[in-house]
Amino acid sequence: MRIMNKKISLLCLICFLVVGGFSQGSFRIKADITIKIKNQDSTFQYTKGTVSYDRNFKKVIYDISFPQKETYISEDTLVYKYQNRKLISTQGSPLKPEFSIFQFILNNDISDFGLKNSSYTATNIEKSNDLIITKWTAPAVPDFPLGDILVSSKNKRLQSVIIHNKKREIISRQIFKKYTFINGIEIPTEILSVSYFGGKKSYQIIQFDKVQINESGHDSDYDYKVQKIKL
């Protein structure tokens, strides 16, 4: 009986290591990317290219083909813009690559939208058909301007995130769709979002195609080495 238990434990351990090992071993991602934005004034921004990220190099590299051929490197808190490998400009970056969706994807850790490690608290969970809806409540601090965040998931896949203000009005909605399962990790290949400001809306669609995980070789695609000072 004891030997049987040991065998079962060993089997469970092996299963755990195999499943965990898949996602732990994912270190780089590359995909075609299309970003469409409709601004509040009804103008559009359309960007198409390839995005590469390697967790070891900590650089998100956007090799853009439209509207112009140019390369953007997001490294630390800066974004460098290059044309023909020549630095054109440098500007502040909203997110360090380690906090980007690409890092979350490689960690197989986007199911809670990163709220687990924030000052928000998961205060309720409801099931509605096959959706699991979690309410994340803002910290109980006077004058905290934001309200609850609702995160819904289906089969452990993040489906949508709704951010409220303090008046319980929705200020941002994001929908994660068209998942693909590669190398043991779930990857949403389409992210839709709407932002609401003063009765107006702006829309965004991000699409990924030809997703590759752990591409071998091509290190230079993930570690773009060029000058960081304008010459």
| 219 sits near another protein (criterion: CB under 8 A) | no
| 114 sits near another protein (criterion: CB under 8 A) | yes
- Binding residues for another protein restricted to 25-44, rule: CB under 8 A: 33-44
Q: Which of 141, 167, 199, 217 is the binder for another protein (CB under 8 A)?
A: 141
Closer Cβ to another protein, 5 or 68, answer by number = 68
Residue 196, SS3 per DSSP: strand
Contacts of 169 by beta carbon, 8 Å cutoff, 6+ apart: 196
Give me 127's structure tokens.
């099931």
Closer Cβ to another protein, 57 or 120, answer by number = 120
Q: Which of 16, 139, 219, 227 is the binder for another protein (CB under 8 A)?
A: 139
Residue 10 Cβ, how far from another protein at the closest point, in Å?
Answer: 36
Size of the site for another protein (CB under 8 A): 82
Which long-range contacts link 109-112 to residues 24+ away (Cβ below 8 Å)? 110/158, 110/176, 110/186, 110/188, 111/153, 111/156, 111/157, 111/158, 112/151, 112/158
- Binding residues for another protein restricted to 42-101, rule: CB under 8 A: 42-48, 62, 64-70, 72, 74, 77-79, 91-96, 99-101
- The neighbour count for residue 58, using CB atoms within 10 Å, is 17
The amino acid at residue 176 is F
